[in-house]
Chains A and B, each alone.
Chain A
Amino acid sequence: MSIKDQVIAIIAEQAMLEPSDIQMENTLEDIGIDSLGLVESIFAIEETFDISVPFNANDPTAGDFDISSVAAIVAAVEKLKSEQAA
């Protein structure tokens, strides 16, 4: 499974939707993921990809990790994975 498909699967599970229902341009709010769901999703992403995601719930926009849409999250995970490989 590609990084994109794995991230979508994680987000879909959190949103209690089918992966096919998730659009890349969706925001987390669009698909009903609240702040707790976000923290859980990030935990699942860290566990799945063996990466550390810079994210502080006090100021979700402060870190380098863009959570503004599903596409942004996929891109951020891909970036962290490529940095890990480098």
Chain B
Amino acid sequence: MRRVVITGAGTINPLGSDMPSTLLAMQEGRCGIGPLEIADVDRLAIQIGGQIKGYDEGAHFNRQQIALYDRFTQFALLAAREAIGQSGLTFSGELADQSGVIFGTSGGGLNTQDENYRAVYEAGKNRVHPFIVPRLMNNAAASHVSIEWNLRGPTFTVATACASSNHAMGQAFNMVRSGMAKVMVTGGSEAMLCFGGIKAWEGLRVMSRDACRPFSATRSGMVQGEGAAVFVFEDYEHARARGAEILCEVAGFAMSSDACDIVTPSKQGAARAIGGALKDAKLPKDSVGYINAHGTGTAANDKTECAAVADVFGAHADQLMMSSTKSMHGHLIGGTGAVELIACIMALRDGIIAPTIGYEEADPECALDVVPNVAREAQVDVALSNAFAFGGLNAVIALRKH
């Protein structure tokens, strides 16, 4: 088994258009959630989201590219550019064949679908642009990153709702660990903030109209966000041989299925994934200093997640920190685990724990140290990132300081 390290990171999300600005926002506990600026927002009951404001696709891509790149593909390409740039890797010959892309997304090209359903159903048009299918398909982002950087090995997309990114990064980790690939570009992307994308979520009645306040007794539900984060997972020996800067080590990964209910989470399923990731990483429970929570801000998630962490860690649950950065960037659905991994890397590398902002009042069922409202300095050796999806699918990644 090979060791796997992260040698590049990139992002665009509601907190910033690159890694430095995102890290700064997380340190400052800034909120990237605000009024949505989308078509027909007046017909929505939920009018807030973690939207990337002031985004100009024309500043990054030409007209031909935009014809092929849905918003979620654009975000993935921008994040990949930063991540691969930082890694210093170029892909040719054998390395290109041994390197691939695995991304998570849930909605894929949902804006493309939304716009074109409007065109044919609302505007009554009988013709759509010829590239609608390659633009909306869920694997478009992974394929375009593969094309752009000549990544010719295993490349595909994982769609497991809110756990998509963690499942994707878990696969990438295991491919490098097993020797199947030398380098995997991985993470996730989501752009679901369109009329149809929000209207569908409204139906479930779990959305907040004002803010995302995970673990706070005053929580009122989840808030959607958009964006992408991409990482370069590399064989440790390969990275060391070329003198690459190593951000941290990917130590373990586990996944589980609740096999229970399509929307209600299960404590046992979550606990099996958390405990499984530590077992896979061969790390003792008391080595964990920080958990980036799934922390959606719904009663069902927050109570179940805290109970699962308490079950897995026992007395050590009171010693570790667990924050939900969704309070700042919203829930990026299929891209959320990727953006949240940034907070884990910051904890390990910079010794700064991102806070759970919007925290107002303690909930006795969420009695953990959720790093309320203000970031904290702390030395952390091991960090976990939780993701628990609708469908009862759980995926947890363990990172170790390098």
Contacts and interface: CB of A to CB of B under 8 A. Distances in A.
A35 B206 CA distance: 11
B264 interface: yes
Contacts of A36: 262-264
A42 B205 CA distance: 10
A46 to B, nearest CB: 10
Contacts, number: 30
Nearest to B262: A36
Interface in A27-86: 35-36, 39, 42-43, 55-59
Contact of B264 (A35, A56, A58): A35
Contact of A57 (B206, B219, B262): B206
B54 interface: no
A39 B299 contact: no
A58 B203 contact: no
Contacts of B262: 36
Contacts of A58: 206, 208, 219-221, 298-300
Contacts of B299: 58-59
Interface of chain B, main secondary structure:
loop
A55 B45 CA distance: 12
B204 A57 contact: yes
Nearest to A52: B45
Interface residues of B, number: 14
Interface string B234-266: 000000000000000000000000000011100
Contacts of A35: 263-264
Contacts of B206: 56-58
Given A35-B264, A36-B263, A56 B204 contact: no
A36 B298 CA distance: 15
A59 B220 CA distance: 8
A56 B220 contact: yes
A57 B221 CA distance: 8
A36 to B, nearest CB: 6
B198 to A, nearest CB: 16
A30 B361 CA distance: 33
B203 A43 contact: yes
Interface of A: 35-36, 39, 42-43, 55-59
Given A55-B205, A56-B205, A57-B298, 17 more contacts: A35-B263, A35-B264, A36-B264, A39-B204, A39-B205, A42-B205, A43-B203, A57-B204, A57-B205, A57-B206, A57-B221, A58-B208, A58-B219, A58-B298, A58-B299, A58-B300, A59-B220
